[in-house]
Amino acid sequence: MKRDTYKKLLEWKNDLNRQPLLLQGARQVGKTYLLKEFGQKNYKQCAYINFEETPGCKSFFALDLKPQRIIKDLSIFLEMKIEPASTLIIFDEIQECPNALTSLKYFCENAPEYHVVSAGSLLGVKLSQAKGFPVGKVHFLNLYPMSFFEFLDAVNRPLLRTMLEEVKTITPIPEPHHVQLIELLKIYLYVGGMPKPVLRYVETEDLIKVRETQDDILKAYMQDFAKHAPPVLVMRITQIWGSIPIHLGKENKRFVFTAIKKSARAREYEEAIQWLLDAELIYRVASITVPRLPLSSYGDHETFKVYLLDVGLLGAMCRLPGRVILEGDQLFIEFKGSLTENYVAQGLKAANGEVLYYWKSEKDAEVDFLLEHDGEIFPLEVKSGTSSKKKSLLVYKEKYQPRLISRTSLMNLKQDGNCCNYPLYLVGRFPISTAE
């Protein structure tokens, strides 16, 4: 259950100034399931239309975009009376019907009494190409792969999740809980947060079946490239996608176009990178040389790292063997810590929903992530094991004098002076706002 997103849906339902809602997210992160479950639990009935499965429904939006007439046609088609407030109208795969997207404006302006939600695959790609989209008339909500906290719910460890959510100070987690959470985190790094592999693990605890499910998702993404991307970009998108594990497996994880092929130039691949970003299949983390507020004004978007949307899918692309879960802490240092760093990027993105940045000095110092929070910049260095070294953090500290510096590792939660250590399983809480 995507508890956090579900809560936001409830807030949307109870908002008197409610607008039609558009749920965004990569393919197979659970958008359809979540909207249907939300509708079944909170409304008398759901009026569900899937424009991919029933393309004939597009004709309901071809004549005009008057909400009352559309509601009448949908009621006849679905053989139900669609009523304000008690019926949740779900437009799924809405990218297949551009007129339905446009109609959201008129539902907002002329029929706000109807509760309308929508979702779709590769919706970000379609929206980036759409003209006349009703900006300001739609409430956007993003759905990411399941976080580690949500994974704890899925594997029936809700009390551990509650404990982590209630942490208010930088003091150690009780050691038995800490050990148990590290073991569960190992499983999460392999399984990831895509709903189907998580479900397969919960049902079978069979990592081979989990990997089969992950491979199916990766194949579906490759098919999407060929089906939905402009023909001129398909090869470049495929090349970038395939190069991500190679980049993350290097000591310097900066994305270099010549790693794709020696003659590659940035301008040739910018559109392909943007397509993957719009499809929400990757996260781009831009470099910052001068950490000042707002970070968005100081990002060097020509120097960046690329992470996959889900750490489990990254492991599948790398052909990570299931036995590494049994090999102590080896999993965290595989591929030069790329799984761990991707996990942190994924966790920070899901928790904050913001663009991510990293800091690079003019020399060799590098801090993996910078996060802007409550008017402060919080640097975070990722350690794959239990190392307490923090050379780059100390360089950053000496140069910019932040109130706090932080690292995340396998060590327990603690604070030494102005240096905080967050255990990797607590990344979703970074930074704990009460830390002083």
Within 8 A by CB and 6+ apart from 433, the residues are: 373, 374
Q: Could you read off the pLDDT of 58-75 as tens digits, one per residue?
A: 999 998 999 999 999 999
Q: What is the pLDDT of residue 316?
A: 96
Residue 435 has pLDDT above 50, yes or no: no
Question: What is the spatial distance between Cα 426 and Cα 416, in angstroms, rounded to a whole number?
Answer: 17
- In this structure, are residues 47 and 74 in contact, taking their beta carbons and an 8 Å threshold? yes
**Bridge partners (DSSP) listed for residue 309:** none
Classify residue 184 by burial, with Cβ atoms within 10 Å: 0-12, 13-18, 19+: middle
- DSSP label of 213: H
Centre a 10 Å sphere on the Cβ of residue 87 and count the other Cβ atoms it contains: 23
CATH code of domain 3-142: 3.40.50.300
Q: Is 348 helix (H, G, I), strand (E, B) or coil?
A: helix
Q: What are the DSSP calls for 21-32, one per residue?
A: EEEE--TTSSHH
Within 8 A by CB and 6+ apart from 252, the residues are: none
Question: What is the spatial distance between Cα 302 and Cα 281, in angstroms, rounded to a whole number?
Answer: 19
Q: What is the pLDDT of residue 130?
A: 62
- In this structure, are residues 333 and 385 in contact, taking their beta carbons and an 8 Å threshold? yes
State the DSSP H helix or E strand holding residue 306, giving kind and residue range, or none if neither: strand 299-308
pTM, 2 dp: 0.93
Query: What sections of 249-373 are H helices per DSSP?
Result: 266-278, 311-317, 330-333, 338-352
Structure tokens at 218: 């990766």
Classify residue 249 by burial, with Cβ atoms within 10 Å: 0-12, 13-18, 19+: middle
- In this structure, are residues 25 and 35 in contact, taking their beta carbons and an 8 Å threshold? no
Q: What is the pLDDT of residue 196?
A: 97
Q: What is the mean pLDDT of residues 222-251?
A: 93
> For 14, phi and psi rounded to 5 degrees?
-90, 0
**Bridge partners (DSSP) listed for residue 308:** 282
Considering all CA atoms of the chain, what is the largest pairwise distance in Å, rounded to the nearest integer?
A: 69
Structure tokens at 338: 């790329």
Question: What is the spatial distance between Cα 433 and Cα 436, in angstroms, rounded to a whole number?
Answer: 8
Residue 125 has pLDDT above 90, yes or no: no
Question: What is the spatial distance between Cα 215 and Cα 312, in angstroms, rounded to a whole number?
Answer: 10
Q: Could you read off the pLDDT of 248-276 as tens digits, one per residue?
A: 988 889 998 888 877 777 888 999 999 99
**Bridge partners (DSSP) listed for residue 420:** 406, 415
Residue at token pair 């310097």: 252
Structure tokens at 420: 């905080």
What residue ranges do the domains of the chain occupy?
3-142, 148-429
Q: What is the pLDDT of residue 120?
A: 86
Q: Could you read off the pLDDT of 3-34 as tens digits, one per residue?
A: 789 999 999 999 989 999 999 999 999 999 99
Q: What is the pLDDT of residue 75?
A: 97
Question: What is the spatial distance between Cα 90 and Cα 35, in angstroms, rounded to a whole number?
Answer: 8
